[in-house]
Each structure stands twice: as C-alpha cells, then as structure tokens.
A and B are shown apart, each in its own frame.
Chain A
Amino acid sequence: MTGKDMSGTAPRGLAKGDLGIAVGVVVLGLIAAWQTTEIPQSAYAAVGPRAFAYATSFLLIVMGLFLVKDAAAGGWAQETDDFGEVDWPGGLWLIGGLIANVALIDVIGFILASTVLVVFTARAFGSRRLLRDAITGFLLAFVAYVGFDRVLGYKIGTGLIEGLI
C-alpha cells in the first residue's frame, strides 16, 4: 500500500527492524481488542463504550498487518533512512540521565535532579565540560523552579535546594 516501485532496485528480503515495529502494532491492536472485551457493556446508551474501542483495535490490527506485508517485501525504513550510524555511548548516556532523573527527583528534589539530567544529556551530545554543564544545569533548573513553581503556580514539589528558598 505504500506504492513503491520496486523495479530497478535489487530485490530485498525481510526487513527485521520494520517487521518488529509492524508486529508491535498488531500486538497493540490485539491487546486493545482483548481489553475491550473487559469493558462492561452498558444497556442504556444507543452506542456503548465498546463500539469505538473495537473499531480502534480493528484499525490497529489491520494497519499492523499491512505493515507486516510491507516489512516482508523489504521494508520501508531503509529508503527513507537518514539515521546513519548508531552512537551507542551517546544514547546510553541519555538513557542513564533519564533513569537518574526518575530515581532522584522525589529524593533530592527537582533542581538537583535536573542538574544531573543536564550533565548526562550534555555528555550524550559529546560535551566534556562537566563543570560548565553542571553550573548551567543548576542555574537553569533554579530559575525554572522559581519561575514555574513560585510565580506561575506549578507544583514541582520540594527538595534539598527547594527547601532553602
């Protein structure tokens, strides 16, 4: 259905990454359909809570199957691929920063957790200037906290630094 003209290019086999995504969509549709059967049907409304839930599950499954077909025919991602080489250390630094943020934010507060997050993220993008990143991250989080929590009324919670101001 993507309507690609395959002539002229060498025939390709199954695209594994694309297939993984396609199967994921089908599985999401199946889970949605299964969860829909768990919704109690209501007798009063002309259209109950299930109708759209089934329709959405159906759309997900059908689109997933189309994607499986595309993946088996060589996939689609290669043709539009502008990604290039994977930078594993960079990506993992970022993921480490996100995990640290989740783990620390309730314990030491938003400002210090954000400082850690900025340092990790900067490292993921190749920065080696730890001190600069830490100071910038701290100041940014500090200003953002005062602006959003104290002035605009967001509820960012408390922490080691937040308790002092």
Chain B
Amino acid sequence: MSTFDHLMNGFGVALLPMNLLWAFVGVTVGTAIGVLPGLGPALTIALLLPLTYKVDPTAALILFAGIYYGAMYGGSTTSILLNTPGESATIVTSLEGNKMAKKGRAGAALATAAIGSFVAGTIGTIGITFLAEPVVKLALMFGPADYFALMMLSFVTVSAVLGSSAVRGLTALAIGIFLGMIGIDNQTGQARFTFGITELFDGINVIVVAVGLFAVGETLYLAFQKSSKLQDDSVLEVKDSLWMSKADWSRSWKPWLRGSAIGFPIGAMPAGGAEIPTFLSYYTEKKLTKHPEEFGHGAIEGVAGPEAANNASAAGVLVPMLALGLPTSATAAIMLSAFQSYNINPGPQLFATKPELVWGLIASLYIGNVMLLVLNLPLVGLWVKILKIPTPLLYGGILVFATIGTYGISRSVIDLLLLYAMGVMGFFMRRYDFPTAPVIIGMILGPLAEQNFRQAMTISQGDMMTFLTKPISASLLALAVLALIGPKLWAMMRKA
C-alpha cells in the first residue's frame, strides 16, 4: 500500500464519530492548558495517563496528540496577551506579540499566530506523513546495538547540547535514569534501588515524577518567590478585529513557511526541542525583514515565524517518537509511556502491526489542526476568560489535580509523599537552573537503552566491540561523542 492509501485508511479511523470527539476534547483541553501559565502538555498528559486502563489505545493517543498540538496553539495566546509566556517555547512570541498587543494590534498578532500555527502544523503533519515510512525503512536495518547507540546520541543532545549547561543537563538525565531503574529488573528479577521498601518494587510511576516536577515544583517555586505575587498580570484587551489586513498577510506568509522549514527538521532530529527553532526563526526574520525598525516594537514577522517554527517542530518530534520509539521531549516521553501501558512499542514494527493506530493518529493530527484554527481564532474570547482566573485559585486547582493523578490511582499516601518529594526536587532544579525534561526522558528511555544494550551483548556473546564494529552504531556513537565534547574542543581551539 502507498502512503496515500495508508493515510486514507487513517482518515477512516480518525473520522469515526467517537475518535472525532476524542480529538475535539484533546484540542480543547490542550488549548486551555496551553493558555494557562504554569501548565503544560507533559503534565496534562501525565495526569490523564490512567485513562489508558479504560479507553482503547487509538482513542487515548488521539486525545493525547490533540492535547499536544492544542497546547502549542494556546501558549501563543498567553504570550501575546500576558507578558508571562504560557509555554517555554513561546517566549520568543511574546517578544513581538506582547508589544503588538500593547499597541492595540492584539487581534492581528493572535491571527498571525493561529493561522501560522495552522499552516506550520499542517506542513509538519504532511512531513510526518511522508517522512515516517522512509525512517521506518531505515529503522528496520537497526539492530539492538544501533538502537542503543541512537539512544546514547539522543541522551547527549537532549541533556548536554540543548540546555545552558552540559553538566546540569547530564545530572538531570542521570537522576532520571536512576529513577527509571528503581524496582524489579525485568530481565533478571532482581530488585534495584528499592531500599527494601515494598511499594518501590513495581518502580516509580512516571506520573508521580512528571506531576511532581512540573506541577508541585512550579507551585512551590512561585509560592516561595516574592516577585511572583507583585508582577503585573493584567490581561491586555483585544481591541482590533481578529482579521489581518492585506499588509499583514503579505508580511506573514513567508515567515510562516520559513518557520515551518526551520522547525520541522530540527524537531524531527533525534535531538528535539522547540526553543532553538523558535529563536532561529526569530533571528532569520529579523535579518530578512523590510521593517527592521519595528523589531522590538511589535513586528508581525517576529510573531508569525517563531509561532510557525514552534508548531512545525512539535510535529517533527512525533517522527522519531512514532517511527523509532525515540522520545526527544518530556511530552513525547510521556506519550511513549502511554503506548507502553498498552504493551505497544512505538517503532518500525508498529507501522506493520498496527497501521490503523498509527495512521489514524496521523490523520487525526490533520483534523485537530483544523479544529484548532476554529477554536483559537473566532473563539479567542473564551480563552481570554480563562486567563482571568485568579492566580491563588489557579495553583490551588493545579494541586488538586496533582492529587488526583497520584493518590487517585493508587490511594496510597506514600505516592502522595513521593509526589511532594519530587516537587521539592523540582523546586531546587528550577532554583538552581537544572533542566527538568531530561529527567523524564531518562526515566522512560533509560530502561529501553539498557534493554537494547543487553540484547546487543547477548547477540555478540558479551563482546563490547559490537558497538564499534557495526557501521550504524559506530557512527551514531561517534556523533554522540562529538556532540558531547565538540563544543568544548571548539572553544579551546578558538582560545588557542
């Protein structure tokens, strides 16, 4: 079957009334949490992971993908109307978007962000459609040694290359791998790092870690911070029309396309991350614009480009996630654990064994994008109301949902204590500038890396050289080493 046939079958699945409903719930919830400062898609999907016990896999994954896409749209509304970005990847949008809103051009900024998100989201989804199968074909050549090497590369790029400090990123990664190792080793049946506590034999639930780090940690951070209560959080009014003028259109469409072209490939690489493409897009537009004097004072290109880059890279992240089983963001890692709770392993085999699931999911992304355009443009007033929830109640509510996500699945006070312990860790990580995404990625990907390492070693009968004699694995490991020490070497060479 051709890609087109697969996609049409996927639409057959995604257009089923129940699945349309799940997609709609997903994009709506996603937009809402994207709008709310302090909530993100990783946290929300983690809270809803227990749904996987109840709902069939296609429905749950369509819901989660809807939340993922929706949060990208919603985040831009907050960055434009409120000076505090809702999502880390939309920091750049607030640079120009908030200035535009202050000048009474909030409507145009929201419109170029929403339409740009739609254009980029659709281009990104087309990218997934056509890139997935070649990546699957490539991945079918991968043995366990090659997978292990790929995961090492991804560990390095996710933790050491993308953040502000390699040491702190790798520390976060190591903590995540440590947390993922707690419990019974599934190959030998030995308990590891359980300290004799029976509750830990089943391992630590990723929900507890994600919700603790993101929700409790963030709440603690803000509660202990004096300035968080003093800042001006008034929501700017949308005074102008939500339609762009002819000049706005002609200044927006190229940045949308350029942003998509920057965002998707970077998202699809085993490194992931939405922040770098948004910054790259911003500087590209700043260089190419015919109105350089407007940059810093509300240039529409500075909203259109980065918003498109953000959404396209979010789509790109799904390529390694689906085709290789390789998550490169915290959200993708939690989506992977949703697959795992159905005993489904994303990766090349999935496209052969469950095409209706994969292609149904991809088709639902096209549909979700259309829904999001409608939800975010004509209905933007609704989301502005959400922004007016008083902060004290917002964080109270977040903690109630955090309780549901942990105590609500185990009814164990131990899990609640573990949640708060993770929250304290999240507080210190935020305070001392450690990235938190590598913790989640290490926790999910660590056990998979170990499994592939062991399989490779069993095949090679205990010969470590297998990682260096296989061409794919050797080149991936070389890339990983280069990514780790390359920047440092470069700096030393320039000094010398």
A residues with CB within 8 A of B: 1-3, 17-18, 21, 25, 28-29, 32, 35-36, 39-40, 42, 44-49, 51-53, 56, 59-60, 63-64, 66-67, 70, 76-77, 80, 83-88, 90-91, 93-95, 97-98, 101-102, 105-106, 110, 113-114, 117-119, 121-127, 133, 136-137, 140-141, 144, 148-149, 152-157
User: Nearest-CB distance from B479 to chain A (Å)?
Assistant: 19
**Residue interface bits B161-201, CB-to-A below 8 A is 1, else 0:** 00011111011011101100100010110111101000000
B contacts with A: majority SS: helix
- Residues A1 and B167 in contact in the complex (CB < 8 Å), given A105-B403, A122-B392: yes
**Cβ contact of A86, chosen from B51, B225, B420, cutoff 8 A:** B225
User: Nearest-CB distance from A152 to chain B (Å)?
Assistant: 6
B residues with CB within 8 A of A: 50-51, 53-54, 164-168, 170-171, 173-175, 177-178, 181, 185, 187-188, 190-193, 195, 216, 219-220, 222-229, 390-393, 395-397, 399-401, 403-404, 407-409, 411, 413, 416-417, 420, 423, 428, 431-433, 446, 449-450, 453-454, 457-458, 461-462, 488, 491
Please, which residues of chain A bring their CB within 8 A of the CB of B416?
101-102, 105
A35 close to B195 (CB less than 8 A): yes
A93 to B167, CA, bound (A): 34
Determine which residue in A53, A70, A119, A153 has the highest number of CB atoms from chain B within 10 A of its CB, and name it: A53
**Cβ contact of B458, chosen from A46, A98, A118, cutoff 8 A:** A46
User: Nearest-CB distance from A100 to chain B (Å)?
Assistant: 11
B431 close to A77 (CB less than 8 A): yes
Additional 5 contacts, C-beta under 8 A, given A2-B166, A49-B187, A90-B223:
A94-B223, A105-B413, A140-B400, A144-B401, A149-B408
The A-B contact count (CB < 8 A) is 222
- Which of chain B's residues has its CB closest to A121's CB? B396
Please, which residues of chain A bring their CB within 8 A of the CB of B420?
98, 102
- Residues A122 and B396 in contact in the complex (CB < 8 Å), given A3-B491, A60-B174, A90-B229: yes
Please, which residues of chain A bring their CB within 8 A of the CB of B181?
52-53, 56
